[in-house]
Structure 1
Amino acid sequence: MATKRRKTPALRPVRNKKEDPDSLSAERIRKSEQKTDLQKRIKDTRKESEYLYHDLSHNFPALVCEFLPDSTLTYVNRAYCEYFGMTEEELIGRAFLDLIPEVAREGVKTQYLSLTPQNATKVYNHQVIRNGEIFWHEWHDRAFFDAQGKALKFQSIGFDITERKQAEKTLRESENMYRTLFNRSVEGIYLHDLEGRILDANQMACRQSGYTKDELLKRTVFDLHPDNTDRTGIVGQWKRWDPEQRFTFEATHRRKDGTPFPVEVSTGKIHYEDKEILLAIVRDITERKKISEALKSSEEKFRFLAEKMGDIVWTLDLNLKTTYVSPSVTKVLGFTPEERKAQAAEEIMTPESLAHVKEILTREILRETARDADPDRSINVEVAYYHKNGSTIWLENSIKALRDASGTLTGIYGVSRDISERKRAEEQIRKDLEEKTILLKEIHHRVKNNLTVISSLLNLQVKKIKTKQQAIEAFGESRDRVFAMALVHEKLYQSENFAHVDMHSYLNDMVRQLSSIYRISGNIRLRLEIENAVIDLNRAIPCALILNELITNAFKHAFPPDRSGEISMVFRPCGNEAYELIVSDDGIGLPAGFDPESSDSLGLHLIRLLTVQINGECTIGRDRGTSFRIRFPRNP
């Protein structure tokens, strides 16, 4: 059993009861003076430290400031002043939040006010405004608190990171562009490590292989051509490859469903995420293989077809000198094959086409140095050739490269087809489209003008209406006038020419329609002498309205009930300069003393106005009834 230790009492100083009171008082004074002196030295040291801190921070290259919780600046260093282009006096007492874009101010205030005595520092990025421009800064904030934990002030050190932000943005854009090009490539692209494990694949690779991207990322490139059994040897070759080397070879890949297809693979080492991997570009050459095999097995058949076909087959060297041309060149361009082979390029095609062909050839020769250049690519180009008779013939050329056994470009070959008819058709389509565009605008203009004419006619008609009967008659007359205008447009749009009206067809239809409206009886004969004539729309509408007024006037007033007679209408050219329009009847004639010039009849008023509009002259005859003879020039 453990023994319990006794607690040792604390030692206390023993005061000498016989000490002198004056001695004790002197000691207290001495200690008080020592304490005061110590406090003064501490205060001086603190002032010296603060002075040293401000001296250091004032010359510090970064931006240094101190501010109160309400963001009022209480200290700024020289770099801060120089950066914002203001003096210390201008900045002290100002809210530093004013130097921050308005949309970001609340966020910045939340950041520094979130500091606590336990977590008194923070690093964050925000924008500032300098000379009206936005810049990015990284700010290191520190808060100072009193004994109760209340924030007294904040100290902040800032670094301009605008260039870094721009670099990050450029990097993101570059990565996005790479990803876009990667996925939109027309060839399959694989990234795989030196063991063959697939790290990435684009959309074309998925389409070629039939696997989804997730499925490919769980496989190796050896799964795509399982017939290759020497995996160890291939991996060894990959590891020995120089990063500058590029290799192109043909292989057979196998799709997910097991079907094989030929490919051309271009591959080499690249650095990716600080390690060496392989980039493989896979081109499906199924079609090229088929063409190659077909060419090899049917070279003679091809030559036979080339000799017999209607299109021109030809080959050129790199100086655009003809080395072969099929006999069909004679049928298309008039030259014999021997004549064509003796011609220089300048004698074969127009200067514009020659410049275009040279530009294409130069571009394609430069492409030969590119690693991704398809050696089997083809180009379609339209060229204007000279015919032997001096005319120009347009041919569409399908062009491909001629290569020697090593794949070096030695010339070009192609097939040319006469597209002159197509060119003429395209030109006609272009002209038709222009005409239709103009016509559409013209239609809008015509509709507006016709509506204006109708509105004006109705306004004139309204002034004449006094009774209900007059209103009914006015509606009938307005109907006839609108019909006359509408019939012009009907004839216009039924014709191939949208700018002129066939008056022979128009006048026959108009008289027939008005005869039906006014129910002309058999005792009134109609005699029409209408010669073939075509007039432009701008005068067809006034002529139509004039004829409507004259014919309806004859129908309504020339023949009282039970009286027979004849109405005659003549429209004919007068030489090469004018047209003549005559409407006459052998009816009761104009009333005695009636003066057409001073008459307030709306119909006669319209006839006078419209005759002036077409620069015509109107003559009224009174012999054996009434006749109106209007003569107007053919050209406006």
Structure 2
Amino acid sequence: MGDRCVEAVHGAHEGHVRGAGHGGQGDPHQSLGWRGPWPGALRDHRTRLVRDLPAVAHAGEGEIDLRRNDGGNVGDGGAVRDADHHRRRFREDVLLRVAPLTDTTGAISGVIGSGEDVTEGLRAERALEHRNLVLRAIRNVNQLIIREKNRDHLITSVCEILASMGYHGAWIGLIDPEGSLQAAAESGMGDAFSTLVERMRGGEIPSCASRALETGDAVEIEDPAVECGDCPVAVVDGRKSVLAMRLESEGQVRGVLVVSLPREFHRNPEETSLVLEVAGDIAFALRSIEIEEEKRRIEEDIFVSEAQLRAIFDSSEEIIFMKDLEGRYVQANEAFSRAFDLPLDRIVGSRDRDLFPEDEAAMIEEIDREILSSGRAHKSEDVLTVRGEVRIYRTTKVPIRDSRGEIIGLCGFADDNTEMRRAMDKLRESEERFRSLFEDSGEGIYFTTREGEIIDINPAGLALFGLDPDEISGINVNDLYLDPEVRCRFQEEIEARGFVKDFEVRFRRRDGQVIDCLLTSSVRTDADGNVIGYQGIIHDVTERRQVQAALEESLREKELLLREIHHRVKNNMQIICSMMRLQAGCIEDEELVDKMLATEQRIRSMAMVHDRLYQSSDLARIDLLEYLERLGQGVHRTFCPEEGGIRLEVEGDGVLLDITRAVPCGLILNELLTNSFKHAFPDGRPGTVRVDLRKDDDRVIVTVADDGVGIPEDVDPYTTGTLGMELIRTLVEQLDGRMDIDGTSGTRITIEFRAG
């Protein structure tokens, strides 16, 4: 535009502008009367002129800053902050210098001024200011990189620095090699950035960042609203330009940096270079943080590993120690201290000659020299004297090397194997004894699988089945069972209980002979408790079964014979009873008849015992209660042939008596029942006779009671000399029992004796 001069005259009623170098008509104004042409640069600023010229005229002189801004007074410099905004309103920057015009009286009649186009100067000034801000940002970023060791804090602080120094906004996205967003930070991007982050987490990378990641070059976008219309932050960028570049260090891409800058700096190589420098610094810092984090993780892992090793070292029951090249112990654990009953500070620094007898120490030193010279590990079982006791140690020693591979000592692990060795010796002795028992036993001993394969069988077992040792591999025990179903029952029972005892089996020998056996066996299990086979003893009972069968046959014959004897005795006694009854019928003496009938009843009571034994499955004992019922019924029929009159009641426990006790017991009860029926109810008096049988442990208690007239006062039942009472007392003594008599209210006689 060049320099221009313009004269403005201010009057009370009207004013006009005379201009040099421009023609055209001026625009009228309501407040001041202006006429004449407006220079092109001034036309954009006429409102400012109308406002500020009067003040300058009255002040005497001054400047009006007509650079592109919304404010500023005369001489204030009109600070420029939003160049893009003012570029939309004004085309050029003008600095107008004015002075008042006076008339002859000295009164101000107007102003005169000159205008200067300062557009390029201001642009250079803004560029310098922006570059200085960016350089300060780079400096601040570098300072931040030095002190910040947290990745998220770093990228957040970098964005804040960039947004406050030269850029309108900035954001960083860290992306892994698979394209997933790891972290993000922003400053000056507003709420729209949250939407952008959500999209990036879903795998949708904005176009500027995607292009920067792919090409490796800086991506410059002049108008984001046009080129990035679908990006959430494009509206935020507005009429600003965007610069995006990837964060790359040591050939590894770690993410992208995107900044929003004034459009006047778009496609400025120097600007791009500065941002690339910042991006490189950020990538380097991220790599450094990764290295530090990895170092910290390694250090933590080393610490944990050392702590774990120390815990193992200290808590191990195995002796652990380290020696230097001179044979001195440099470390030892608590197990070493316990084994030697020495504190660790006494062990560390000592040598083997301080701990073991000289010959043993010399042997250990020789082994150590071999390990240190060969560089190879060594295993041995050492017999050493510790605290005066001979112990056996299973020892492993390995050389220790430094970072250069040089041997600097050795490490040893020793396990006290004394008890294990003794146990193994005992086990070996036990196995030898078992093998001797196995080989020499007269009973068959076997080991088989569940499927029946014979694992081992002793000579007695081979002889039992008629087998040779070389035939075992071709025989399955299932083939030896006479009945295969028995094998199934054997397996079911042994696996349910874990063992069987005296399980009866019939086998067929190799020669076809059938043998009877008893198996006493148990299951064999693996480490998990699963049944894998059976083991046990085979006892041949064939001969015993044959003898048993012969004895049983003989016993059956004897039972038949004994049963026949009881039958014959009973028949003979009944014949005697019949003969006595017939004889009584021929006797006229009633007293003699009564005696014969009483004797007959006694014989019948004995015959009844033999009859019960004959009919019983047990030829040695009878059921006493059942016997008493039949005996009582017989006596009752004898003395009470008609219904009514005297009743008989029999009750009690089941008691088994052998014949030696049943016969005298029967005779006693016969006498007692006879006395009750004959004497307790004179003159046809009705009444009841009760028989009660009880067993108390091994004692039998029999009570015969009636509700008759009782025993006369002048009769002592214990001393009376009647045949019946004499017989009762004698039989009670024979049974080693006792008798109680109560005749106060009826008669009650109790007999007590042992059951057997």
Q: What is the TM-score of this pair, normalised by structure 1?
A: 0.35
TM-score with structure 2 length normalisation?
Answer: 0.30
Q: Which has the larger radius of gyration?
A: 2
